[in-house]
Chains A and B, each alone.
Chain A
């Protein structure tokens, strides 16, 4: 059954259509990758799903219920968490406090929240850095902190916005492992990614956006042979 259904979503900013009439759905437990050239509307779509934007047209259903129009914190409460492409750590808080702040969503007291946070930090390999003020963290770890924070809200589904961009090869492998481990916990994942290695190795299905429209959907193997996708990425000159 579908966990998340994106139905005919359009998002206009003035005359500009950032997303037009995009539809797809995600089954429980799968990893769906959202790819497309820069400016294709991927992050806008995330902002619609996560509640920052109210879509111009269409609706988003989560667990069968409409969530578009709700505020982001309500959507997070229902079990749909996200990370940001441009990382937004709570700068002057320690890594642990960052995660505690989000763990409070499902915890009644500080001990419970701390327990959840510590468990999440171990899971994401940040436990050693728990006392570091997050502003001083290198980019790779800040990206992982984003994931840890989102996980600490104990979601059923995770939206990952370029969590692997800008990582070095060893960090990249670490992140791929973590994403797989998250999936193994039964958490459904929608991921925006540019890195082909990541996409091909983890995703069950791929949706391709170009200029705000969905141009293809399928398994990694299908997508890598899709003519439209190659055109969108390389331009028409190359496809001739």
Chain B
């Protein structure tokens, strides 16, 4: 991967709609980009800063509900949800961070998982506000055609990619990795670990929240079971990054591509659809045992497995 490959890929993706893809293909591409965004966000917090979150659905849901509630209750366009979700996600990240970041390792992971569940239960029960299980539906989506949505999510993905790359290469990035590698050492080297973990969580939450707000606009419908889903959002987020490569720039992108295609493949085979969790579960187990650092992280291993001789990074 050289310096220009991100721009090259961005250019290619920007030209893709001109090829005249079917609506279904555009949908797949949009999902791919959306999951890349969520993966990039998770990767910053968990891959680089080492704070593994099992509850990213919390931020995704908050973004989606910010757009939804402002649309349904205030009567403004759901697109306002994008900027507004930045505020909402930051507040949520500060509160969740205050509670969870005092825990380390797997306990942090489980606490975030619980946070995701709490928000789901709250969204289900605050019916006056969220519509409860009925959810929120847009009367009319902005475009029938998918091209507009495609460019919006492409822009979000590109910005997230470059912002996270910039952060990782800066002082923040060094501090994040230092915290991941040894929190006590980091603290004694003058790094305010609580502060920097909170910063990582906030940035990650904001990016995820924007993806959630986009989802509301794109799908036109949300309910608590969909956007706060443990398996279908939080765990898939982890899988996207684990498949692609933890703590690599390209990992979330590669992982998202594979996961979205796999999901569609499984859905298209009759009878297998019902077993898609089994399939993903087994995949998850295999990845953890054989390729714990993902395709990008374990590229050498991966290349060797497929008989590629000249493996490069």
Contacts and interface: CB of A to CB of B under 8 A. Distances in A.
Interface of A: 50-52, 71-74, 76-77, 81-82, 84, 88-93, 97, 100-102, 104-105, 107, 109-110, 113, 149-150, 153
A101 B187 contact: no
Q: Which 3 A-B pairs have the closest CB atoms?
A: A76-B190, A90-B181, A88-B185
B contact patch SS? helix
Contacts of A71: 187, 192
Contacts of B170: 110
A81 B175 CA distance: 17
B102 to A, nearest CB: 13
Given A84-B184, A88-B182, A101-B174, 7 more contacts: A71-B192, A74-B192, A88-B184, A93-B181, A101-B191, A110-B170, A153-B189
Given A88-B182, A101-B177, A101-B178, A110 B171 contact: yes
A26 B192 CA distance: 27
B181 A104 contact: no
A57 B137 CA distance: 62
B189 A149 contact: yes
Contacts of A113: 171, 174
A73 B181 contact: no
Contacts of A72: 187-188
A104 B177 contact: no
Contacts of A84: 184-185, 188
Nearest to B174: A101
Nearest to B176: A101
B178 A105 contact: no
Interface in B43-87: none
7 contacts: A51-B188, A72-B188, A73-B188, A89-B181, A104-B171, A104-B175, A110-B170
By CB atoms of chain B within 10 A, which of A50, A89, A101, A107 has the most? Answer: A101
A150 B187 contact: no
A76 to B, nearest CB: 4
A102 B189 contact: yes
A227 B171 CA distance: 52
B248 interface: no
A91 B206 CA distance: 30
A81 B177 CA distance: 20
